[in-house]
Structure 1
Amino acid sequence: MWRSCSQNGAKTFPVTGTLRARSGALSRAAIPKYARPVHGKTTAPPWRPASTLDEWVAKEARPISLRQLMVFGRSLTEARLLSSANYVRIELPTRLAHRIRDMQTLPYVVVTNPHISLVYELYYKAFETLRRVREIKTLEDNDRFCKKISETLQEHLTVIPRLAMGVLECRDLMNPEDMDKFMNTILRSRISRRVIAEQHLALTETFSSPWHFPDASSSLETEFVGEVFLKCNAREVVQRCFSEVIALASTTSPPNTQFPELKLEGHLDATFPYILSHLEYIIGELLRNSIQAIVEKQGKGGLKGKPPPIEVTVCEASQHVIIRVSDQGGGIPRDILPYLWAFSKGPRSHQRLENLHQVPKMAATLQEVRVTDLPKPHEIAQKEVAIHDSSLSTLSSRPPNLRLGMGLPLSRVYAEYWAGSLNMHSLEGFGVDAFLQISKLGNKNEQLTMRASMDAV
């Protein structure tokens, strides 16, 4: 932990046991320029007392499941809304405190990276703001709290690209496995905070809307509970994402490019509760990788005539829905395969870093790679049923051909968050099979790192 070095309580630069144990052997040449003092200063976050943070790190996060979100939100009363607000009021700073502590246990030379330092400051600012919110007793209190949540969500849209750049710049300063563990923990916690924050914002919007009351004529309550879409249908999501990705690819491909068709098979009527933006992101990334592989193979002369279709098979079991995405794009290159799920290593790290500098904000949703003149997914998907707009919907988009190298590892984080899984099988020279498993019942708790877990890193 970062603590003052002085005996009298005077504030000095922060130090960590990790720093003393690890960086002592580093020569000045081995320390990045950003970590070297300039006129007596570094980019390290400022000193802060540890006692307040210690109190919050001692608290356990209370995990939730999709079913709990659904049951709680269906019978929405003022008392339940205020109960939700107070749950979020405690849960957000608790989860932030654990992640701040994770960053404090990193080597000092890593924390001084300007990108990671910025994320640390954003987290600490949010922690200090949210921990000071008093018990929410009225709807007016809740409205003020929701405003703070919304502002925080918007400020934190810079977190993913900043973290990714920081991890890539520090890839030689930490063990790659430890760095990936840190990144997975941070991203999974980020998803968890956005889920509970967005859910409460959506419930507040629902409570304030005319159709919330029993005599309203809307059927929205049968489709959505907050951000949870009760009847996610894999076929509809796949078709919608496929159209989006094809339109995206057509903007950067030569005019004579032939794109593969979509072949859907299996249990196409299967439905399950899920957060739609999560599923869209995963499916969108899988389809985008498959289409890009086929287009590149076609450009190299590896395909003659009409390209083979992308086959998507939906399998419904008693407790799971499994979605398989198969392509014949030639498989994953051998030099990339060992780093498929890595954030910090790989043969194209320098190019990824350059590309990330062009993405100031990123919320990891399908909306970020959308062609602007296409209809939004919810405009064509939910049979004229409106969807709650979240703070993830209006984002700065990145160029469609800009590769960040984060799609698959981030998709796996999303899949595993609700106790699912994502696996890839590559047949070199032929193609790839991706298997996405989703809990069908919505009764699996979010998968969290309950206490600060980076002490051994």
Structure 2
Amino acid sequence: MAGQAGRATQAVRIRASQQQRAAGALSSPLCCLPPSRSGYVNTTRRTIAAASLVQTQPSQSTRWRPISVLDDWVAKEARPISLRQLMVFGRSLTEARLISSANYVRTELPTRLAHRIRDIQQLPYAVVSNPHISAVYELYYNAFDMFRKVKEIKTLDDNDVLCDVIGQTLQAHLPVIPKLAMGILECSDLMPAKDLDKFMNTILRARISRRVIAEQHLALTETFNASWYSPGAPLPEGHEFIGEVFLKCQARDVIDRCAKAVCELARSAYGPEVQLPDIQLTGHLDTTFPYILSHLEYIVGELLRNAVQATVERHQRMYESHGSNYVGIPPPPPPIEITLCEAAQHVIIRVSDQGGGVPHDMMPYLWSFSKGKHSQRLLENLKKVPRMSATLQELRVDEAQNPPSRNSSTHPLDKPPNVTGDPDHPHGNSLASLSQRPPNLRLGMGLPLSRVYAEYWAGSLELHSLEGYGVDAFLQISKLGNKNEQLTMRASMDAV
């Protein structure tokens, strides 16, 4: 009898231990804020100030966390914004407006994080316990727990400390995108692909949204503290940015810069003598619109990179198979045609190539983060990318690990920004690292992530492939900047 009681007691302890481990695993998967120019250097004074601004956290290091703490935050609605609101708010920046922006960020970040954490908690246990998903969840919960404890911002010193906290969080979350991608690929047989894609689209769009509001506030703070800026005064003549918003984004200039970077990439990958397709730009070339430059650079960069790579490789295959028929220098590859079209509400960018189109076996996975039989190859490539910012810098690991400091020459805060193509301009330096990304390092995320970026500001990205001939890609952008960011407003489990 005593032996039976002992065994029963031991069974109860085992079950309790299993439940505790399960609870710990459930509280370890989701969300991230992308990297930004987090040039805020911590000093002893700011470290002390941060300790007073953020309430004391428990010293226990257990992985288990009660999910009830999320309930109040999940019950709150995110407050979406538009590009126009960002522009109007930052046009005449004062101390009161900067502090108002700080408090918006202070409350909005934990709200948006809470919704996505709750979504992760609703994933099947086998998915949640994946080490990559679990690591992301841990990063998300730590960020949520930190931001929810930040006290109201009342002074500029408080705001400086908040900016340090934001910058540290953005840097800490650099591993999130590759970890999410690896987790989804490893779990592709545990959930339907459409559910995994819905989860990834929701998570990545939320990540973009947090990056936008966090980096916008950091940029406004930099502007306010710059020696050339007079609080409350109109923007200096020639100033083309309000925070991160480029007031007159000219698609032609973005395409020219991306084309140059992509061609340099191709030469470094295929050799300096490689024949590259001519990139021809036609249409409404003087079109301008407000936009976040890094978003447009990422989308256009991916479309051009795919087009140039497909065209070059197809041309090389054709030359190798018919090389004996050529006399002298073989003909150049067919051009890539880019057309800009301006309408009353939208700008449309069409990228047309003759690179042979999308292979038939890849079509089902074109917009999916799950890649079926191609998953293992992509997993090996993703392991080479420990950090990713989802700008054109995504593979510049050395720059991600050692970002330029706030006082470095790449952040000229003592003069108003002017030319967007200036390589020393903080809004334009993401192009500098595109050449670091080798063409054979395919990640399977370029098109799906580009579509997430396009749809974030109520735009769209479509692709039409003619196998054996080429691809037409259509990027539609809202021209007026009056569309709110497209968010999943609540945790999907609460939206039903």
TM-score bucket of the superposed structures, by smaller chain:
0.7 to 0.9
**Alignment-derived partner of residue 317 in structure 2:** 300
1:47 matched to 2:103? The reply is no
The answer for the alignment partner of 2:8 in structure 1 is none
Q: 1:385 to 1:218 in 2, by over 3 A?
A: farther
Q: Of the candidates 120, 139, 147, which is equivalent to residue 130 of structure 1?
A: 147
Matches within 5 A, 1:338-353: 338-353=364-379
| 1:22-68 residue CA offsets vs partner (Å, 9 max, x unmatched) | xxxxxxxxxxxxxxxxxxxxxxx932112211111010000000000
Check the 8 A contact 2:422/2:428 in 1, yes or no: no
Matched, 1:259 2:276: yes
Give 1:434's aligned amino acid: A
The counterpart of 1:443, out of the listed 471, 479, 482, is: 482
**Residues 241-260 of structure 1, C-alpha deviation per residue, up to 9 Å, x if partnerless?**
00000101111114542100
- Are residues 1:413 and 2:452 paired? yes
Structure 1 residues 388 and 170, CA gap change in structure 2 (3 angstroms)? same
The AA in structure 2 aligned to 1:362 is M
Matches within 5 A, 1:91-110: 91-110=108-127
User: Aligned residue for 2:5?
Assistant: none
Written as runs of structure 1 = structure 2, the 5 A alignment for 1:9-408 is 12-14=20-22, 46-213=63-230, 219=236, 222-301=239-318, 305-368=331-394, 382=420, 387-388=425-426, 398-408=437-447
Distance 1:168 1:384, change over 3 A: closer
Tell me the SS of whatever aligns to 1:432: strand
Contact 1:335 1:347 in 2 (8 A): no
Cα 1:7–1:384, aligned 2, differ >3 Å: closer, same or farther? Answer: closer
Residues 215 and 175 of structure 1: is their aligned pair in 2 closer, same or farther, counting only changes over 3 Å? closer
Using the size of structure 1 for normalisation, the TM-score is: 0.85
AA at the equivalent of 2:453: Y
Amino acid at match of 2:457: W
- Unaligned stretches of 5+ residues in structure 2: 1-12, 27-61, 323-329, 400-409
Contact 1:297 1:329 in 2 (8 A): yes
CA positional deviation for 1:161: 0.3
Number of residue pairs the alignment of both structures matches: 422
SS in 1 for 2:370: coil
Tell me, in whole angstroms, the C-alpha distance in 2 between the residues paired with 1:293 and 1:394: 22
For residue 435 of structure 1, give the secondary structure of its aligned residue in structure 2.
Answer: strand
Alpha-carbon separation, structure 1, partners of 2:151 and 2:19: 29
AA of the residue aligned to 1:13: R
Q: Distance in 2 between matches of 1:218 and 1:74?
A: 7
Cα contact 1:229–1:276 (8 A) shared by 2: yes
Distance in structure 1 (CA, Å) of the matches to 2:372 and 2:418: 38
Structure 1 residue 6: Cα displacement: 12
Higher RCO (CA 8 Å, separation ≥ 6 residues)? 2
Does the CA-based 8 Å contact 1:248-1:371 persist in structure 2? no
- Code of the residue aligned with 2:104 in structure 1: it is Y
* Aligned counterpart, 2:472: 433
Which entry has the higher C-alpha Rg, 1 or 2? 2
The SS at the match of 2:144 is helix
- Deviation sequence 1:45-102 (CA, Å, 0-9, x none): 9321122111110100000000000000001000000000000000000000001001
Q: 1:301 to 1:454 in 2, by over 3 A?
A: farther
SS across alignment from 1:222: coil
Check whether the contact 1:361–1:395 (CA below 8 A) recurs between aligned residues.
Answer: no
Shift of 1:301: 1.1
Matched residue SS, 1:325: strand
Equivalent-residue separation in structure 1 for 2:133 and 2:100 (angstroms): 34
| Structure 2 CA distance for aligned equivalents of residues 200 and 214 of structure 1 | 15
SS of equivalent to 2:486: coil
Q: 1:7 to 1:308 in 2, by over 3 A?
A: closer
- SS, match of residue 252 in structure 1: helix
DSSP 3-state at the match of 1:177: helix
CA distance in 1: counterparts of 2:150 and 2:428, whole angstroms: 22
Instruction: Measure the CA separation in 2 of the matches of 1:259 and 1:351.
Output: 27
Compute the TM-score of the two structures, normalised by the length of structure 2: 0.79
Task: Say whether the 8 Å CA contact 2:163–2:218 is kept in structure 1.
Answer: yes
CA contact (8 A) 2:184 2:196 kept: yes
Whichever residue aligns with residue 22 of structure 2, its letter is P
Cα offset for 1:199? 0.1
- Report the 3-state secondary structure (helix = DSSP H, G, I; strand = E; otherwise coil) of the residue aligned with 2:228: helix
* Paired letter, 1:406: M
2:21 counterpart SS class: coil
Q: Contact 2:346–2:478 at 8 Å: present in 1 too?
A: yes
Which 5+ residue runs of structure 1 have no aligned equivalent? 19-44
In structure 1, C-alpha distance between the alignment counterparts of 2:429 and 2:137, rounded to whole Å: 21
Find the counterpart in structure 1 of residue 327 from structure 2. Answer: none
